[in-house]
Structures are given as structure tokens and as C-alpha cells.
Amino acid sequence: MLKSEYKIGRVWGIPIKIHISLLVLLVYMASNGAIAGGERGGFAGALGSVLFILLLEVLVFSSIALHELGHSFIAIRKGCRVHEITLMFIGGAAKMDSMPAKPKDECLMAIAGPIVSLTLGGVAMAIGIPLLYHSGGRGLGQFGMVLFYAGLVNLLLAAFNLIPAFPMDGGRVFRALMTPRHGRLKATYLAARLGRGIAVAFFIIGLFGLEHVRVFGMTLFRPMNFVLMMIAGFIFVTANREYRMVQVEELMRQRGFGSAWPGMPPPPPADDGDDTVVISPPPYEKGPDAKAELHHTQPRKSDNPFSRLFGR
Ligand SMILES: [Zn+2]
């Protein structure tokens, strides 16, 4: 039976899963490597290429898992529960049932992943480059080459994740910085807006490429970069979804339904039976002070806040 995800381990009680899309990519890359290696050096060349690529893949995806564990470490310390970590071909994702309520904690959680990647990248480069330099790319030098590439991927991962495209790490930092000034809801709106703008830019870069931008002599963004276009689509959809979630949160909090996120502050005390709910969905588009007020004179027990929010 073909499953979409396979569990490969468990850290701090968090199941680590690998998505089928990633397995397909790994096999595809290894077989491409085998063909290229075989053309250069027969069976030995093919075997060498496959081992090189497999080792690189293991290092890269272990690094991505460690990046997600960096987020998870802070999240758990701040009282959140991490359900699972999934490794996909566009990167990793840690699924949590809540986010730290304090902006400072959210900022810390968001930055923890890139810090792990930056550290891993630095260490891999520091070992890999001398190995490569001293052995001229033979024997241990091959291992140095693998470490160099794995280090490069980690550094790029850290840099890429710090781009403020919500809900990527940099976008979460952006929201956390905006929250004290604008409140969580508007901060999320601004972050989602910026995230969607950057997603559009990513899609255009993915489509047309940026061939004159080179890192260590390598072109990172060739035209028709499907991974970048997929990431753009992911950001575009999830940025708004998370804004909607925060809207529901805010609505529930204001109406005294309690908090769906355990770490959130308790709802304010209900005042003299006034059942006015102030939410701020698209009205932000009209101006910073615009607010939508949902009035209903007769409060009813069966009135479901979700239906009104999603019924727009
Ligand atoms: Zn991250």
C-alpha cells in the first residue's frame, strides 16, 4: 500500500516523517547521478556518483530536520505542542497545535531554525573546504566536496528562510516585530500581505530565472524552477490561511469563547451584555482605522462565530 508519508524516527517524542514527493526526488536525483557517473567512469563511476548523491541527500535532509527541531525546541519550551515534522521536497514543516502567544517568544521560535542552519552550514564549510583544498578532490576530498555542498545548502536555507515572506521564518519575525505596535491581527494582515507580494516575486523569478545571479559560480535560479514556483504557491496560499486563522482566534477571544491557543491571554471580561464584535477582516484594505462591526441585538446561543466569518 502506497502511503503519502513514512515515519523515519522520533525525537523528543515528535514523529519525523518523510513525504513521498521527497522520496521520488531522491530516487530521481540518484538515478540521474548514476547515469552521468556511468558515462564518465563505467560501473565504478556510477557507484561513486550514487554514493556521493545519497550521502549529500542524507546530510541535507538531516539538516532540514534539525532546522525544524530548532523551531520545535523553542516551541516546546514555550509550552506549545509539536505534532510532527514532515520533510517534503520543498523543505520541512513542523506542525504545531499552537504558537507562542508572546511576540518575543514567536520571534525566538522563528529565528531558531535559521540559527541551526547557519551553524550547521558554518561547521560543514569549515571542515569541507580544507579537506577539498588539501586532497584535490580525490579520496577524502570527495567527502570534503559533499560537506561543502551540504554546508552551502544550509547557508542558503538560512538566508532563504529569513526572507520576510510569511509564513516563512522571516515573515514570522516580521509579524512578531509588528505585533506590539499594531496588535496581532493587523500584524498578521501586514505580514500576509508582504508574504503574498514576495510569493508573486518568487513565482516570476521561478518562471523566468535569474541567470546572472551566481553563488560560488553556480546559477541558482534557472528559468522554469519548479521548486521555487511551488514554494511561491505554498506561501501565497498559506499566508492568507494563517491570517484567516488569526481572525477566527480574535473573534473567539472577543466573544469570550476562550482561546483556541493555550498560550493566548484570556478573553477580556464581557461588558454589560453588549454583544458587539469588532473584527478586522478585509476592512484593513480601506485604511488603517477601518473596522467592521458586527452587531446583533439579540444574542443567541446557537450563533456560530465561524459561519459569519467564513460566510463573507
Ligand atoms: Zn524554519
**Quick one: DSSP state of residue 92?**
E
**What distance in Å separates the CA atoms of residue 38 and residue 130, rounded to the nearest whole number?**
28
Distance from the alpha carbon of residue 169 to the mean position of ligand 1, in angstroms: 5
Distance from the alpha carbon of residue 103 to the mean position of ligand 1, in angstroms: 16
Distance from the alpha carbon of residue 95 to the mean position of ligand 1, in angstroms: 12
Report helix, strand or coil for 224: coil
Degrees to nearest 5, angle at CA 151 with 150 and 153: 65
pLDDT of residue 111: 93
pLDDT of residue 96: 83
Tens-level pLDDT at each residue, the chain (312 residues):
678 888 888 999 889 998 888 888 888 888 887 888 777 777 777 788 888 888 888 898 899 999 999 999 998 888 888 888 888 877 788 888 777 878 899 899 999 999 999 999 999 999 988 888 887 767 777 888 889 989 998 998 898 889 888 888 999 999 999 988 998 888 889 999 999 999 999 999 999 888 777 777 777 778 888 888 988 998 898 888 888 888 888 888 777 665 555 444 444 444 444 443 334 333 333 333 334 333 333 344 444 444 334 332
Q: For residues 105-135, b (16+ Cβ closer than 10 Å) or e, as one string?
A: bbbbbbbbbbebbbebbeebbeebeebbeee
CA quadruple 239, 99, 151, 50: dihedral sign = negative
Counting every residue, how long is the chain? 312
pLDDT of residue 87: 86
pLDDT of residue 293: 39
Instruction: Find out whether 189 and 284 touch, Cβ atoms under 8 Å.
Output: yes
Distance from the alpha carbon of residue 289 to the mean position of ligand 1, in angstroms: 33
pLDDT of residue 212: 76
What is the amino acid identity at position 214? Answer: R
pLDDT of residue 119: 96
Distance from the alpha carbon of residue 220 to the mean position of ligand 1, in angstroms: 20
pLDDT of residue 278: 39
22 Cβ contact list (under 8 Å, min separation 6): 61, 87, 88, 89
pTM here is 0.73
Instruction: Find out whether 118 and 158 touch, Cβ atoms under 8 Å.
Output: yes
Every domain of the chain and the residues it spans: 1-162, 165-271, 277-310
Distance from the alpha carbon of residue 303 to the mean position of ligand 1, in angstroms: 38
Instruction: Find out whether 63 and 91 touch, Cβ atoms under 8 Å.
Output: no
Report helix, strand or coil for 87: strand
